[in-house]
């Protein structure tokens, strides 16, 4: 743990670091490949929508000795539709049949009671009409759309529109990957999935905003110096918050992994799987996008500005002439993230400069005062 703490301190001071922004094209390519895979999975397999979105019926039986696979066969024969059967902790069965006509529920219930050898009166039936499912789907899309609009507006006000655009792209990236994974693994999309999706989008924004806040602070009056480009400072911002982002992501993933692999795998699926899978995939994708997508994209957008282009040109020219190191700025010399300029450089420096004390002041005098 002490080694990790030392690494975090060295990353913050700029003593070590990975060139995230310099290698952004590689990470852009990785993200594009993952996104294409998710889109192909979504197009080929589609989403397995729950009954809340397409209508259907859920039957909960009393305790029975019939196996899950046999009960699934009975349910599909009785309804003519695919069925999902889960064994509950008390030995009862939860049979979910999506897309079936709710008017046939009594007939299906009677057939199931006969096949499963249980009392028909003890089978609980929950029915969801297709129109209500459409309303739920529309509300979910509306909620997601409103969330994205509000996020873009807030970031544009709190930071600037380029950061809002970068954050929006990162969020779309996270949504696409999470939805694509749902399509590939075939998990059911339920209201729990939507809850998990909205939760991870907020978490993804948290990591992104932390980096953006550091970047905004460190690039204040960046045009007054000629040692570092905007990309250099952006890379420094990522490295200085890297350990924090990794730590918060790992801590968040551990309980979610417990829900997904222990709660869902050992105790059975249902709502645990719906929420935990979206949380697990979304948390990982959100941490990735805040580091490898959002901030490098901000650097690309900023360096399209004429003043940032001119700054980059001056910095590169100075490095070519004076042999300036092309590394991330360090806080070892100043708290604002920029080293002081050489004595023969332009006097303008970003941030406050500590004034050195006069070397000969008070030397040899008991009072330390001038006569």
User: What CATH number is associated with residue 262?
Assistant: 1.20.1640.10
- Residue 242 sits in the same domain as residue 188: yes
Domain final position from 306, 332, 347: 306
Radius of gyration of the chain (CA): 29
- Residue 136 sits in the same domain as residue 101: no
- Residue 105 sits in the same domain as residue 143: no
Has residue 15 been placed in a domain?
Answer: yes
Give the range among 56-65, 257-266, 339-348 with minimum mean pLDDT: 339-348
- Residue 62 sits in the same domain as residue 102: yes
pTM: 0.72
Give the range among 107-111, 175-179, 364-368 with minimum mean pLDDT: 364-368
More confident residue, 317 or 132: 317
**pLDDT above 70 (res 167):** yes
Instruction: Give the pLDDT confidence score for residue 153 in this predicted structure.
Output: 92
Rounded mean pLDDT, 67-95: 83
Q: Indicate if the alpha-carbon torsion angle 22, 173, 32, 166 is positive or negative.
A: negative
Rounded mean pLDDT, 270-283: 78
Instruction: Give the pLDDT confidence score for residue 19 in this predicted structure.
Output: 87
Rounded mean pLDDT, 247-255: 86
Distance CA 35, CA 37 (A): 5
Structure tokens at 123: 């089978």
Instruction: Give the pLDDT confidence score for residue 369 in this predicted structure.
Output: 46
Average pLDDT, the chain: 78
Instruction: Give the pLDDT confidence score for residue 161 in this predicted structure.
Output: 92
- Residue 255 sits in the same domain as residue 164: yes
Distance CA 178, CA 174 (A): 6
Has residue 171 been placed in a domain?
Answer: yes
Domain that holds residue 26: 2-49+132-306
At residue 299 the predicted structure's pLDDT band, cuts being 50, 70 and 90, is: very high
- Note the helical H segments in the chain: 2-13, 24-45, 51-54, 68-79, 105-116, 130-158, 161-185, 191-218, 230-240, 242-257, 271-289, 295-302, 306-322
- The total of structural domains in the chain comes to 2
Residue 254: CA atoms inside 13 Å, Cβ hemisphere, count?
Answer: 5
Has residue 364 been placed in a domain?
Answer: no
Has residue 340 been placed in a domain?
Answer: no
- Residue 220 sits in the same domain as residue 286: yes
Has residue 18 been placed in a domain?
Answer: yes
Instruction: Give the pLDDT confidence score for residue 347 in this predicted structure.
Output: 38
Give the CATH number, domain containing residue 105: 3.30.70.3400
Closest-CA residue to 263 (of 95, 136, 123, 89): 89
At residue 166 the predicted structure's pLDDT band, cuts being 50, 70 and 90, is: very high
Distance CA 267, CA 163 (A): 43
Residue with tokens 């909960």: 60
Give the range among 131-135, 281-285, 366-370 with minimum mean pLDDT: 366-370
At residue 370 the predicted structure's pLDDT band, cuts being 50, 70 and 90, is: very low
Rounded mean pLDDT, 143-150: 85
Has residue 76 been placed in a domain?
Answer: yes
Has residue 323 been placed in a domain?
Answer: no
Rounded mean pLDDT, 218-245: 86
Domain final position from 128, 159, 185: 128
Task: Please state, in angstroms and as integers, the Cα–Cα distance from residue 219 to each residue in 286, 314, 316, 326, 337, following that order.
Answer: 24, 16, 18, 17, 9
At residue 36 the predicted structure's pLDDT band, cuts being 50, 70 and 90, is: very high
């Amino acid at each position: 743990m002490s080694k990790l703490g030392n690494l975090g301190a060295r990353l913050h001071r700029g003593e070590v670091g990975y060139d995230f922004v310099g290698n952004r094209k590689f990470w852009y390519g990785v993200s594009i490949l993952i996104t294409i895979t998710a889109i192909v999975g979504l197009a080929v397999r589609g989403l397995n929508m729950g009954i809340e979105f397409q209508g259907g019926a859920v039957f909960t039986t009393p305790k029975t000795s019939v196996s899950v696979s046999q009960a699934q066969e009975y349910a599909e024969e009785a309804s003519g539709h695919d069925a999902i059967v889960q064994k509950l902790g008390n030995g009862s069965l939860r049979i979910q049949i999506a897309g079936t006509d709710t008017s046939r529920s009594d007939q299906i219930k009677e057939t199931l009671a006969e096949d499963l050898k249980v009392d028909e009166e003890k089978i609980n039936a929950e029915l969801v009409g297709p129109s209500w499912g459409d309303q739920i789907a529309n509300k979910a899309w509306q909620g997601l759309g409103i969330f994205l609009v509000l996020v873009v507006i807030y970031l544009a006000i709190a930071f600037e529109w380029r950061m809002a655009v970068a954050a929006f792209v990162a969020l779309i990236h996270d949504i696409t990957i999470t939805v694509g994974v749902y399509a590939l693994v075939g998990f059911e999309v339920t209201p729990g999935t939507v809850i998990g999706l909205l939760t991870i989008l907020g978490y993804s924004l948290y990591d992104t905003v932390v980096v953006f806040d550091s970047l905004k602070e460190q690039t204040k009056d960046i045009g007054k110096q000629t040692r570092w480009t905007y990309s250099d400072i952006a890379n420094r911002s990522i490295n200085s918050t890297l350990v924090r982002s990794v730590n918060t992501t790992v801590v968040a993933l551990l309980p979610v992994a417990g829900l997904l692999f222990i709660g869902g795998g050992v105790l059975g699926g249902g709502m645990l799987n719906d929420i935990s899978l979206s949380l697990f995939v979304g948390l990982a994708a959100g941490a990735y996008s805040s580091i490898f997508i959002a901030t490098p994209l901000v650097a690309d957008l900023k360096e399209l500005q004429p003043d940032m282009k001119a700054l980059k040109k001056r910095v590169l020219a100075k490095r070519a002439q004076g042999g300036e190191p092309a590394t991330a700025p360090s806080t070892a010399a100043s708290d604002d993230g920029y080293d002081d300029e050489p004595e023969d450089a332009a006097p303008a420096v970003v941030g406050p400069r500590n004034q050195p004390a006069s070397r000969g002041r008070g030397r040899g005098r008991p009072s330390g005062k001038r006569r």
